[in-house]
Amino acid sequence: HLVTDPKYGFLRQLGLTIENPGLYDGRWGGSGKVIESISPATGKVIAKVRTSTLQEASNAITEARKAWPQWALLPAPTRGEIIRQIGEELRNNLKPLGRLVSLEMGKILPEGIGEVQEFIDICDYAVGLSRMLPGSMFPSERKNHALLEKWNPLGVIGVISAFNFPIAVYGWNSAIAMVCGNGIIWKGALTTPLVSIATTKIITGVLERNGVPGSIACLVTGGADVGETIVNDSRIPLVSFTGSTNVGRNVAIKVQERFGKCLLELGGNNALIVAQDADLEMAVRAAVFSCVGTTGQRCTTTRRLLLHSKIKDEFLGKLKIAYKCILERLGDPLDDNVLYGPLHNQHALDEYKQAIDSALQNGGKIEFGGKQINRVGFYVEPTIISGLSSKAEIVQKETFAPIVYVFEVNSLEDAIAFNNSVQQGLSSSMFTKNLGNVFQWIGPHGSDCGIINVNIGTSGAEIGGAFGGEKSTGGGRESGSDAWKHYMRRATITINYGNELPLAQGIKFE
Ligand code: NAD
């Protein structure tokens, strides 16, 4: 167990031991099977976690529901003050928690810390929101009547999240949902349970210090069956699901069957277009981070490079040189100076290999990489593949690995059509200096994605905007802008403060 190794002292700082309870429903527990959390860099066991049974998951919903009324009745600025303290506590734990993200997920340390920072940032945002949650008053057509719109919390919402952002996605959901007055039941990925436990300890510690039941932020640990318990429970009015499109589709159908609401953040198949007039140096630098950053395991990772025929060879040449440099910076994600870590687990490694085989069988040519790296952990070469048809099955699907497919395009129209030719609609980006191109790209016949970038890569969003994508990416929006609306129900209220009873539209019924 790495948890007993003095080199990983930050694990004990976060309150983790050799075997950890994976259930929090006001108290820590869990009597499901014991699972091991594995370090992607070494294949070694970090610590063990006792998962939740299905009955325990259901009980946790009951506990969160019991605690919820007290939370919902607090004034929003009071909830905001508690979220501010959560942000402070995350700041105090920025480095150890960031290290844990890096150790358990496998992303490099600056990105692990960046994820915790994202949670801190959204806490700040939520604090502001707590004093700005709007309501409206519209002019009524009836004399002595007031027409209002008020937003109320939904209740206890379910958050089911993916392995690749084991804390930030929960941060986006929990900070906004809680400030809106909701309780939460969270199920993180089965392979990142320690991040879920350490995060929940921090949050519930702050809640309890403020005299609020910790069960406002319940945690369950487990796989698909524990997730389904949340999905199928009609006491959960909203399920915020982040994960693959296939799982998300079934989640959406099941939640819809019981007329619950879903917030879906599913897979992407993101393209980066480099126009003829682009600043190639900038475009290459952006492409490197977008294609190989987080070892290709971001939902916004660039999967398709659409290069204008006039600059294709030069761009590709520069990209390959950059990829060579990246290989020299491959290593343990916790080590300084490392830019490129392992894939998350054996499953991810298998998917990488299958994608390469499929690309080769379909006429693809490996321009760079293509192989597993011979060292412990799940390391693979960052890979560039050319020569495939845009319609090839492997190009149409999201492979969660550092593989990018390169294509030649000859016009802006071709590039936009190519960008839009996949089922997914998450992120997209174009490098150009031409203002006409930019407005075509962001206009009604431009990119059909939820995220449309210009002269930056496809990945690395900020919290201020609404994050999410169209088509089979699910249509959800999280984080900034007006994403808070997902976590509240809108009531239209008409108040008659006069002595008469006029009907709308002047209807007479007397
Ligand atoms: P996944 O779909 O395998 O799992 C996601 C979560 O769903 C996990 O917690 C898992 O345990 C749970 N789950 C699995 N089966 C379930 C079921 N039947 N019912 C309920 N819950 C179930 O995804 P993953 O491999 O962990 O993550 C990678 C995927 O997530 C990629 O497709 C990536 O693009 C996507 N993702 C999207 C965003 C976004 O914001 N759009 C962000 C991060 C990741």
- Tokens 């992607």, located at residue: 40
Index of the ligand 1 atom closest to the CA of residue 190: 11
Give the DSSP letter of residue 317. H
Residue nearest to atom 35 of ligand 1 (CA): 243
Cβ of 407 below 6 Å from ligand 1: no
The residue among 126, 195, 125, 184 whose CA lies nearest residue 160 is: 184
**ipTM computed for the complex:** 0.98
Task: Tell me which of 266, 396, 422, 423 to substitute to probe ligand 1's pocket, judged by most ligand atoms within 8 Å of the beta carbon.
Answer: 266
Residue nearest to atom 13 of ligand 1 (CA): 224
Index of the ligand 1 atom closest to the CA of residue 268: 34
pLDDT for 269 equals: 98
Cβ of 376 below 6 Å from ligand 1: no
| Adjacent-strand bridge partners of 368 | 384
Cβ of 220 below 6 Å from ligand 1: no
E strand intervals along 30-96: 34-38, 45-50
pLDDT per residue of the chain (510 residues) written in tens, 0 to 9: 899 999 999 999 999 999 999 999 999 999 999 999 999 999 999 999 999 999 999 999 999 999 999 999 999 999 999 999 999 999 999 999 999 999 999 999 999 999 999 999 999 999 999 999 999 999 999 999 999 999 999 999 999 999 999 999 999 999 999 999 999 999 999 999 999 999 999 999 999 999 999 999 999 999 999 999 999 999 999 999 999 999 999 999 999 999 999 999 999 999 999 999 999 999 999 999 999 999 999 999 999 999 999 999 999 999 999 999 999 999 999 999 999 999 999 999 999 999 999 999 999 999 999 999 999 999 999 999 999 999 999 999 999 999 999 999 999 999 999 999 999 999 999 999 999 999 999 999 999 999 999 999 999 899 999 999 999 999 999 999 999 999 999 999 999 999 999 999 999 999
CA angle, 138 then 143 then 146, to 5°: 35
Question: Which residues lie below 8 Å from residue 382, measured CB to CB, with a gap of 6+?
Answer: 291, 292, 295, 296, 323, 326, 327, 340, 368, 369, 402
Residue nearest to atom 23 of ligand 1 (CA): 243
Write out the catalytic residue numbers.
265, 299
pLDDT for 383 equals: 98
- CA pair distance 185, 190, nearest whole angstrom: 15
- CA pair distance 467, 426, nearest whole angstrom: 9
Task: Tell me which of 160, 230, 449 to substitute to probe ligand 1's pocket, judged by most ligand atoms within 8 Å of the beta carbon.
Answer: 160
**Ligand 1 mean position, distance from CA 212 (Å):** 31
- CA pair distance 210, 222, nearest whole angstrom: 29
- CA pair distance 372, 385, nearest whole angstrom: 15
- CA pair distance 72, 237, nearest whole angstrom: 15
